[in-house]
Structures are given as structure tokens and as C-alpha cells.
Amino acid sequence: MRFTKKAGRGTALVALAAASTLVAAGCSAGSLGSSSGEGSAGATEITYLLGGSTDDVVASGKAMIEAFQAANPGITVKTDTRPGGSEGDNLIKTRLSTGDMSDVFAYNNGSLLQAIKPEQNLTALDDQPWVGQLDQTFADSSKGSDGKIYGGPLGTAFGGGVLYNIPLYKKLGLEIPKTWDEFMANNEKIKKDGSADPVEQTYGETWTSQLFVLGDYANVEAAVPNFAADYTANKVKYATTPAALAGFQHIQEVHDAGYFNKDFASAKLTDGVKAVATGKAAHYPQLGAVATNIPLVAPGKEKEVGFFALPGNDASKNNMTVWPGTSALYIPKSVEGDKLDAAKKFIAYAATQEGCDAFIKGSPPQGPFLSKACKLPAEVSQVATDTQAYFDSGKSSPALEFKSPIKGPALEQICIQVGTGQVDAKKGAELYDQDVKKQAQQLGLPGWD
Amino acid sequence: MASTLSTSEATRLAPATRGLKDREKKRPGPYPYWFYIVPGLIYTIFFIVPTFTSFYFSFTRWDLFTSTWIGLKNYQTFFAEQALVIGLRNTLIYAVLTSGLKVVLGMALALLLTSKIIARGYLRSVIFFPVLVSVIGVGLTFAVLMDPERGLINQALGVVGIDGPGWLTNPSLALFSIALVDIWKGVGLATVIYIAGLVSIPGEYYEAAEVDGASRWGVFRHIMLPLARPATATVITLSLIGGLRSFELIWAMTKGGPGFASDVIASVIYKQYQAGFYGLSTAGSVVLFLLVTIIVVPLTWWLNRAEVS
């Protein structure tokens, strides 16, 4: 109000500025609108959002697209990458809810699939020719609450267990542990020997901390067969079920015994893989899938890393917890017409032997394929061989996230709290039960309100 | 700086504005009312509507697709969250620590940089430079420098025989390491505000003090400190608000870890959002909004009131 003198001129100026802003805004909105329609003129072009942005994800995606385009000349596939972990979850949810999703996208099946409401947001793929060839656990964990299949198979299944250094085991004359006590006894011997850290942990990449708990689920189920259903119905808890609490206790025991590597608080996944491949560490509890990194971080050591299931209390029931793929391929409901056909063709291709072969060119297999139409090559990594043995002998059981829609998002931080001695195992399990409650309520499951 | 200017200007221009106001009563405003429509619309669409819808969604369980009304349950859950209890405490520690040290260091540096020293202009730019660098860039750089095994800081300490701590990996140290970086990055702005405050103190006061034989400390205590009060108020307000809502630096350096040891309210909110608890994280934002308001509004009022008297 102080500028009364200049009011006339000021008004004109501001009006002009406002008008030009409006014009500018109008222009950009228009050009945005037209650009999305351009691609459909000649051949069909679809976009494929990869399940991450790491080298192996990008390489396997590219290899598959090249092979697919060669087999389907009328279709071009463009790729897009995204972050992994919870940042990726968020991106997927946001893009789905704003109708801005790529024509095909790779995302987790199991509990995370339920969180994106497949019935509302995705195209059902029940009628597809590959449905009959699916691995049963994969098929079960790629369904919506309406029982329809929404996800197509991508790549291989893999286990969650302990990567171990084979030369070190040979040198110290150790045997693969079948119970937790045997595992701790091995650690004691390795510690005494002094040439390697008994257990590698890599809290610099938080998600890697969860394997003691997630990978122990086969043992939980062996002790409490009905755990998954009761857990989903809010009848059993981690903190009050001894078999489930064991996972948290194991972290605490290993930490208290001083078995971790010195840089456990800041090391990253690749540091851990390198440590176990070169013999700097003896054990690395991890997903078998990370063995893909061995040729990159420790060339020539592919045969020196083996894999065993996390040991529990009962040696006769020492099964491996397995992940029937961490990702499947989906089509959002918004995709229609030519693009929908092309997207379906692309997913069908991924389920064929050619598609599988192309995929493993970029990302070496660490377990059996999810589509029964695909066969593994003769030469595979030691980790894949070890994992396959558990599958073949029927000693594999899917991780909890494939049997229950609930998985607390803060598990990785809670495991780190236990692993750095900030809270004890019991408290950690209680915290996780609280965390899970939020997820269950968000999903609107009965028995949690 | 804005508040310093506006308050001092307000006092200086007080008689003039009063005169203006009298005139305005007789005449309608210079702008036609329709002229408010466009800014009003922008303000409504981008501020009022989101604010009030966020109040609404904080009372719902919301998954971006559908929402159900659940009353105060989100707030209940939010306050039962252990990360939040840690986060709340950390937020207060972080805000008070960073803003307190920015006041002290900012004042000290301003005293140094207003005195007659060599390369004063150059040093002023050096002090201000970190303010211009991207927060994320600073965070990532320091995360590398502070790595316990491979970081430059601990390697340098190792050369002189000190076994450096895990700056960001020790749960009881992580928050303070981040606060230190925040101070390093933000002290330049506090210094500039203080320099402006000190330079604007009229020379007569110093001359009078000199005549009266005041000591250097006396000059600082009784002239510079009280007369730089508007600058102090601005520095405290800006850095306290900044500290309370700090997020980027913490996220870039530790993501709230190890565990939840360096979580603040903003990072807890972000994690709930990432996890897909949209209603819960909205409730968290409302809590943060209320917290900032409850602390900063009375504080600003008190600082400015004392300044006028």
C-alpha cells in the first residue's frame, strides 16, 4: 500500500506478467499433451519400467528386449529405471495412482504386490498361455485377493541363507552347519584361526541386515506350521513365539560374541560379497541372488562361494527359505489396445526359453527358473547349484512375505538396532510387531483394529 | 534478514504509514478487487486446499486410491512409534544445538570479519561459500569423509595416532556429526546477517564509549550485543525453524540410522510415507506443523517485543 504513487503503472506491469505466465502455462500444458500421443503412429512402442537400476537388472532387461524385438519386428520397447527398496515402492505407488505407469513394469510379488492393490490397478493375466507353466509358489504369490494372476514370471527363484567361503571351510575342516549351535561352533573356530571375520554384516546398505530374520522363516514354519495364517490373523506375534524370536536372538548372539567384521556399520553389499568371496569373511547371511555380483567384485572366485540354509534348532528340518522371484512383470489397467497386446506379448516372451536365456545373459541365475518352460544352462554358479539341491530334495519353503500379505517396513532398521546393540532381541521383536500392525491396518486386514 | 528489515523499517516509517492510513480511509484502495482473483486462485489451489485436505487425510487411513475415516488413530499410532519418540528428542536437540552454535559462531565470525584484518572480503566469501553448495552434495561428501575406515577424516586422525570414532555409525554420535556439518554449512548465513547488523550500528556509540573509556568487552557487551539484537532474533528464528524441519542433510548422510539413532520428525514422516502409510505420514506433517508453530510463534513474538522495548 505504500506504493500508491506508482499504482497505475504497477498494476499494468503485474497484469502483463500474470497474463504472460498464463500464456506460458497454457503452452506447456498443450505441448505435454501432444507429446504422449506421438509414438503410436507407425510401429507399436511400449515402455518397460525395470525392477531397479543396478547393473545386472539393466543388463538383463536390455538383453531380453533385444531378443524380443528381434522376434517381434513390429514392436519397440523402451526402458526406464527406478530405485529399489522403499523408494522404489513409493515411486510405483505414486505412478500407479496418478495413471502415469509404464506399459509393463517389474515389481515384487508376495506381500508388496498386495500393497499396490492389483485388483484395482493391474490387468489380470489369467488367460495367458504361460499361466499353466508357472512354479506353484510363484503363481500363488502373484495373485490378487480375487484369486486372479496378475504377474508374469521374470528370471529365477533364489534362496535366502548364508554365503560361505569354501576354501576357508576346507582349510579349517569345517562342515556345513545344520543347527544354530553348530553354526556358532564354526564361528568360534574361525575366530580362533583369526584369518577371517566369522560373520559379515553390511549395515551401510540397510536392507542387507534382515536375512537373519527373513531367511530363518523356514525354521519358524518347521516349528510352528500354522505361523503364516495365524500371524496374518493377528493371533501370533514375533516377540511371543520362541521360534520366530530366534531370528532376532541370532543377530544379538553373533553381535555379542564379537563375530562381526570391523566395518559392519558402514560396509555395503558389494563389500560383503567381496569379503566372503576373497576369504576376508567366512559367512555372509544374504539372498543367494547377490552372488550375481561375485564375477564383478571378485573375478575368478565364482566357485569359491557356497550357500547353505540358515540353521535352526532341528537338524532334520533344516530347510531353505526361498524367494520365488523378487519381481514379476505387470501391466497397469490404464494400458489399452495395441499397447496392451504388445505388453502381453512381451510378458509371454519372458516366460519362454528364449526369454529366459536372454535374461540370464545379463544376470546369471542363482536358482531355478519360475517358468517351467525354461531350463537352466549346464554351467551355473556354485550358489545356484547349492540352492537347486534344496529345491530338488524338497527342502525349500517360501519366505513369509509370500505366505502373508504383511511385512513391516522398518524391519531393516530394527535388525540394525539389534545388531548394533541399541536394543536387545526381545525388544527388537516387539518393535517389529508394532511395525507390522501398521502395515496390517493399512491393508485393512480383519482382526487388527 | 527479512524480519530485521521489516521491523526496523516499521519503526522508522511508523509516522509516515499512519499518515497514509488516514488518507486511505477516505479513498478506496488503488487496486480493483478483481485483481486479487488470480493470485487468490493460485494461493487457494496451491496452499489453502492442500493444507486443509492434509488436515482431513490425517484423520483417515489413506492408500492414495481410497481413504477411510479413522478419527484420531493415526495420531495415536504416530505417538506410540518409538522412532518418533527418538525423533522428537533428536529434533529438539538438533534444532537447539545448531541454532545456538550458529548464533555464537556467527557472532564471533562477524566480529572478526568486521574488524580490520587482511583479506577481509576474501574471507567473507570463504565463510559464505558453503551456504551456496547443495545440501545433498554436502551431505554425501561428508558421509564419504566421515566413513570410519576409509574416510579422509579418520585416516588423517590415524596419521597422528588417533583412532577416530565412527562419526556416522556410532549411534550416540551420529546426530552430533550431522549437526556439526549443518553448522559448517549454515554459519555463513548467520555471519552475513550479523555483519549487516554490526555494520548498521552508528559510529557515534563507539566514539562515546571510547570517550567514556569503555573496555573492548564493555563495548561488545553493552553496545554491539544489544544493538545487534534484531540480527540475533533473525538468526535464531531462521536457524531454529530450519533445524526443526531439517531433513535433507540427515537423509543424505545417515537416512536416520544406524537403526533410528539419528531420526528426526521429518525423516520419520518421510519413512512412513515411503512405507505407504499416507494417512499416518500426513498426521506426522500436521504434528510437525503444530510443533514448529508452538515453538517459533511465541519465540518470534518475544524476540521482537523485547527488541522494540
CB A263 to CB B30 under 8 A?
no
Percent of the residues in chain A that have a pLDDT greater than 90, as a whole number? 49
Poorest-confidence range of A4-13, A84-93, A326-335? A4-13
Q: How far is the C-alpha of A336 from the C-alpha of A324, rounded, in Å?
A: 29
CB A431 to CB B77 under 8 A?
no
Give A167's DSSP letter: H
Q: Assess contact for B106 and B194: CB atoms under 8 A.
A: yes
Count up the domains in chain B and report the number: 1
pLDDT at A66 over 80: yes
Q: Is the peptide bond before A198 cis (omega within 30 degrees of 0)?
A: no
CB A417 to CB B64 under 8 A?
no
Q: How far is the C-alpha of B51 from the C-alpha of B47, rounded, in Å?
A: 6
Q: How far is the C-alpha of A213 from the C-alpha of A334, rounded, in Å?
A: 38
Interchain CB contact of A265 with B (< 8 Å): yes
- Count CB atoms within 10 A of the CB of residue B100: 15
Interchain CB contact of B171 with A (< 8 Å): yes
Architecture of the domain whose range is A43-156+325-376: 3-Layer(aba) Sandwich (3.40)
pLDDT at A8 over 80: no
**CATH number of the domain encompassing residue B91:** 1.10.3720.10
Q: Assess contact for B100 and B276: CB atoms under 8 A.
A: no
Q: Are strands A152-153 and A75-80 parallel, antiparallel or unpaired?
A: unpaired
B127-165: pLDDT as tens digits = 999 999 999 999 999 999 998 888 899 889 988 888 888
Minimal CA separation from B73 to chain A, in Å = 10
Q: Are strands B67-69 and B60-62 parallel, antiparallel or unpaired?
A: antiparallel
Cell of A125: 493375466
B89-114: pLDDT as tens digits = 999 999 999 999 999 999 999 999 98
Minimal CA separation from A315 to chain B, in Å = 33
pLDDT at A23 over 80: no
Has residue B51 been placed in a domain?
Answer: no
Topology alike, domains A43-156+325-376 and A158-323+386-443 = yes
Band the pLDDT of A16: cuts 50, 70, 90.
very low
Q: What are phi and psi of B269, to 5 degrees?
A: -60, -45
Determine the average pLDDT of the residues in A32-48.
58
- Residue among B99, B97, B123, B119 at smallest CA distance from B110: B123
Question: What pLDDT is recorded for position B26?
Answer: 56
Has residue B88 been placed in a domain?
Answer: yes
pLDDT at A97 over 90: no
Question: What pLDDT is recorded for position A145?
Answer: 84
Residue A82 CA: distances (Å) to CA of A54, A290, B301: 9, 19, 46
Has residue B17 been placed in a domain?
Answer: no
B17-35: pLDDT as tens digits = 444 445 445 566 777 888 8
- Residue among B246, B120, B115, B251 at smallest CA distance from B182: B246
Has residue B248 been placed in a domain?
Answer: yes
Q: Which residues pair with A149 in a beta bridge?
A: A143
**Three-state DSSP state, A287:** strand
pLDDT at A338 over 70: yes
Q: Which residues pair with A156 in a beta bridge?
A: A369
Task: Give the length of chain B.
Answer: 309
Question: What pLDDT is recorded for position A105?
Answer: 94
Has residue B8 been placed in a domain?
Answer: no
Q: How far is the C-alpha of B270 from the C-alpha of B285, rounded, in Å?
A: 9
| H/E segment holding residue A330 | strand A328-330
Question: What pLDDT is recorded for position A67?
Answer: 93
pLDDT at A231 over 90: yes
Interchain CB contact of B65 with A (< 8 Å): yes
- Residue among A174, A314, A192 at smallest CA distance from A257: A192
For chain B, give the longest Cα–Cα distance: 79
The b/e string for A321-357 (b: 16+ C-beta within 10 A; e otherwise) is bbbbbbbbbbbbbebeeebbebbbbbbbbbbbebbbb
Q: Which residue's entry shows cell 572478526?
A: B112
Give A260's DSSP letter: B
Question: What pLDDT is recorded for position B307?
Answer: 56
Q: How far is the C-alpha of B144 from the C-alpha of B232, rounded, in Å?
A: 34
Interchain CB contact of B207 with A (< 8 Å): no
Q: What residues in A contact B260, CB-CB < 8 Å?
A: 413, 417
- Count CB atoms within 10 A of the CB of residue B22: 9
Percent of the residues in chain A that have a pLDDT greater than 70, as a whole number? 90
Q: How far is the C-alpha of B163 from the C-alpha of B161, rounded, in Å?
A: 7
Residue in B68, B148, B261 nearest the CB of A422: B261
Instruction: Give how far the C-alpha of residue B14 lies from the chain's centroid of Cα atoms, to the nearest Å.
Output: 29
Poorest-confidence range of A139-148, A176-185, A245-254? A139-148
Q: Helix B278-308 vs helix B2-12: angle between axes, to the nearest 10 degrees? A: 40
Question: What pLDDT is recorded for position A34?
Answer: 36
Q: Assess contact for A180 and A249: CB atoms under 8 A.
A: no
Q: Assess contact for A182 and A298: CB atoms under 8 A.
A: no
Has residue B44 been placed in a domain?
Answer: no
What CATH number does domain A158-323+386-443 carry, 3.40.190.10, 3.40.50.11540, 1.10.1530.10, 3.40.50.2300?
A: 3.40.190.10
CB B258 to CB A416 under 8 A?
yes
Q: How far is the C-alpha of B82 from the C-alpha of B72, rounded, in Å?
A: 18
Q: Assess contact for B235 and B194: CB atoms under 8 A.
A: yes
Has residue B27 been placed in a domain?
Answer: no
Q: How far is the C-alpha of B269 from the C-alpha of B292, rounded, in Å?
A: 15
pLDDT at A358 over 50: yes
The b/e string for A375-389 (b: 16+ C-beta within 10 A; e otherwise) is ebeeebbbbbbbbbe
**Three-state DSSP state, A307:** strand
Question: What pLDDT is recorded for position B148?
Answer: 85
Minimal CA separation from B256 to chain A, in Å = 9
Q: Helix B120-132 vs helix B82-114: angle between axes, to the nearest 10 degrees? A: 160
Q: What is the DSSP string of A97-157?
A: HTT---SEEEE--THHHHHT-HHHHB---TTSGGGGGB-HHHHHHTB-TTS-B--EE-SB-
Has residue B81 been placed in a domain?
Answer: yes
B202-245: pLDDT as tens digits = 888 888 888 888 888 888 888 888 888 889 988 998 898 889 88
Q: What is the DSSP string of B228-278?
A: THHHHHHHHHHHHHHHHT--HHHHHHTTT-STTTT--HHHHHHHHHHTT-H
Q: Is the dihedral of CA A396, A401, A404, A408 positive or negative?
A: positive
CB B63 to CB A442 under 8 A?
yes
Interchain CB contact of B68 with A (< 8 Å): yes
Determine the average pLDDT of the residues in A106-118.
87
ipTM of the complex: 0.76
Q: What residues in A contact B147, CB-CB < 8 Å?
A: 266
Q: Which residues pair with B250 in a beta bridge?
A: none
For chain A, give the longest Cα–Cα distance: 94
Band the pLDDT of B295: cuts 50, 70, 90.
confident
Q: Assess contact for A285 and A213: CB atoms under 8 A.
A: no
Q: What is the mean pLDDT of chain A?
A: 85
Which structural domain, as residue segments, surrounds residue B129? 77-308
Band the pLDDT of A424: cuts 50, 70, 90.
very high
Q: What residues in B contact A87, CB-CB < 8 Å?
A: 274
Q: Spell out the residues 6+ positions from residue A320 whose beta carbon is closer than 8 angstroms to its own.
A: A159, A160, A161, A218, A308, A309, A387, A390, A395, A396, A397
Interchain CB contact of B84 with A (< 8 Å): no
Cell of B186: 549454515
CB B258 to CB A441 under 8 A?
no
Q: Assess contact for A202 and A285: CB atoms under 8 A.
A: no
- Residue among B211, B228, B296, B272 at smallest CA distance from B75: B272
Domain ranges of chain A: 43-156+325-376, 158-323+386-443
CB A265 to CB B255 under 8 A?
no
Determine the average pLDDT of the residues in A323-338.
87
Question: What pLDDT is recorded for position B308?
Answer: 54
Q: How far is the C-alpha of B146 from the C-alpha of B176, rounded, in Å?
A: 12
HSE-CB at A15 with a 13 A cutoff on CA atoms is: 10
Q: Assess contact for B276 and A89: CB atoms under 8 A.
A: yes
Determine the average pLDDT of the residues in A100-113.
90
B168-214: pLDDT as tens digits = 988 889 999 999 999 999 999 999 999 999 998 888 888 888 888 88
Kindly report the pTM of this predicted structure: 0.79
Q: Is the dihedral of CA A146, A147, A149, A153 positive or negative?
A: positive
- Residue among A50, A48, A59 at smallest CA distance from A293: A59
Q: Helix A337-350 vs helix A353-362: angle between axes, to the nearest 10 degrees? A: 80
Q: How far is the C-alpha of A51 from the C-alpha of A155, rounded, in Å?
A: 11
pLDDT at A373 over 90: no
